[in-house]
Amino acid sequence: MNCDFHQLNPHVINDNLRQTLAHLQDHPPHYSQIIGELASKVSQLTYTEISYALNFILSVANIEHNCSDLMCIEDESIRNKKISELTGLPAEPGLLIGQTPQAVQESIAFRVNELIAAFEFDRSLDDTISFFKEAFVGPPCLNGRFISLEKYRCSKQLGITMQEFVAETQKRFPDWTLPFTDPEIDTYAVQIEELFYQYLDENKTLEIPSVEVFLSYFNHEAFTKIYDENKSLFERIYQRAISTGFFH
């Protein structure tokens, strides 16, 4: 795959993130280093793995770059709306903990450090391919992407459980919690998202297919079986796939 990320489907990175990508020199150098490493690994990654990694990295860069504005927004719902606009990914309660500018600033620094620490650890092991394959693919909200990164760090770097990670984090941020996610639905949703990209590319369109068109086009045995046995469950999975910021 060509490593010119600007050529990726517009669903992958919104206009704000494209501007971030175009002006990485205005951001701390670790973002250029991570994205440069990603570019060197594209031949070993799927489109979805590339998309999730790039979108997340640029989203964190954008959040850090806009720290001074975000830390002045006291209302969390308004702050999350701003983050969603900046990143194209749904920002949900608990993403940035804090009711004072200093607390929000500390929360942003904590989130940024999660990304940098994971990357630096894997780079020291010469295993960044695992980082890009495993640390980002997950639930479609920005909170869920951080959960994927945290689970990856707990398993590979920290050697602790997520419960232990939460307990340690709450010592610093008492109100910090993990949002609810449904692993089964998210797993299927990621698989459907991969097929979305295939459909968009093969049909030269930006329009996501309807459930009926999707099932007819791919004739995917597992998804057809779920649809036939539990239509409402499949529709939940399908909407979960669509709800990712890439397809808004």
Tokens of 155: 């398993």
Predicted confidence at residue 65, as pLDDT, reads 95
Count of CA atoms in the C-beta half-sphere (13 A) of 241? 24
Using the predicted structure, report yes or no on whether residue 182 has a pLDDT greater than 80: no
Tokens found for residue 122: 């894997």
Q: Tell me what the mean pLDDT of segment 222-240 comes to.
A: 87
Greater model confidence, 236 or 66: 66
* Burial class for 81, CB neighbours closer than 10 Å (0-12, 13-18, 19+): middle
- Give me the pLDDT at residue 2, please: 44
For residue 89, what pLDDT band results from cuts at 50, 70 and 90?
confident
Out of 10-19, 192-201, 217-226, give the one with best mean pLDDT: 217-226
